[in-house]
Each structure stands twice: as structure tokens, then as C-alpha cells.
Amino acid sequence: MAALIFVVSAIALLQFFISYCRSLIAASMKQPLSEEVRDVAGIPATASGDDFVRVIQLVHLCPDRPEDRGDLRAVGAYFRLLNIIRSTVARVIPSLVTWTELERNQCAYFAAVALDRRIAFSRDMLAQQMDS
């Protein structure tokens, strides 16, 4: 019985976690990327999953914003989960390759939006310091 509860809970955990991360990403998908971030992050038209790690490194170079720290961690964990799925289960189920690639692209877009916000945040901080 406990084993059954464990399996059910683990599957539910995975489903809720994926849906939660997608809700975080969906909230940022409506936000357009500034030209500046496109140039800095090297994202000309659409974000690719391969950009994610590089964009996250750029995000970590900016001053920390406590508001988006948790979301970035959650989406980072989701991105790693997608990589695991891509290199394991997706080899057996080919339709998952397209899905994981699409999700990875959206993770990269989410990271780029976070980078955009952090750049704007540091600019505001600098402006406040100059004023005072």
C-alpha cells in the first residue's frame, strides 16, 4: 500500500512541478525582449534551449534580485529535468524530442526575460545612487 502511495505521489509531484514551472514560464512569455538583451545574450529571433546556460551565467553576473531567485531555481531544475528526459526517455519515444526542445526554448526565453529585468533593476539602482 505504501509503495502504491509512493508511486502515485511521485507521479503527482512530477506533474505538479512541470505544470508549476510552465505557469512561471507562461507568465514571462508575454513580455517582449529588449534589443539590448537580444544583443547581449545573442538571441537574434527566437531563444534556443542551448542558450539557456549562457543566459543564466549572464543573469548571475547582474546584481541579485530576491524576487526572481526562487523562480530561476525552479526553472533551472525544470531545464535539467528536460535534459534528462531528452537524453533518456526521448530516445525511446521520439515525439518527446520535439516537446523537450520546445520547452527548453521557452526556458531560455524565461531566462532572457529575467536577464532583461535584472539589467533594468541594476540601471535603476545606479540611477538612484547618482541622484543621492
Partner 1 sequence: MLFSVLVSGLRYYMFTNFGWTSSQYKYCYYYSDAVLTIFLYLALITLYLQVFDEMKVEKYVRMAALLLLAGTALFSYGVVQQSSHRMVTNFVYELSQNLYFVGLVLTYILWGAILKLRETRIQLIQFVLSLGVYFSAFAATFAFKNVVSHNVVWFPYILQVLGGCLLPMAWAYAFLRLSPDARMVPARLAVVPR
Per CB under 8 A, residues contacting partner 1 are 2-3, 5-6, 8-10, 12-20, 22-24, 26-27, 67, 70-71, 74
Specify the DSSP class assigned to residue 49.
G
Which residue lies nearer to partner 1 by CB, 17 or 54? 17
Distance of alpha carbon 59 from alpha carbon 41, whole angstroms:
10
Kindly list the distances between the CA atom of residue 9 and the CA atoms of 49, 68, 83, in Å, as whole numbers in the listed order.
Answer: 29, 28, 23
CB of 130 to partner 1, least distance (A): 27
CB-nearer residue toward partner 1: 32 or 39: 32
Length of the chain: 132
- Whichever of 24 and 40 has its CB closer to partner 1, that residue is 24
Pick 40 or 74: Cβ nearer partner 1: 74
Closest-CA residue to 56 (of 115, 119, 104, 105): 115
Shortest spacing between CB 57 and partner 1, in angstroms: 23
Supply the minimum distance, in Å, between the C-beta of residue 25 and partner 1. 9
Write the burial class of residue 115 (CB in 10 Å: 0-12 exposed, 13-18 middle, 19+ buried).
buried
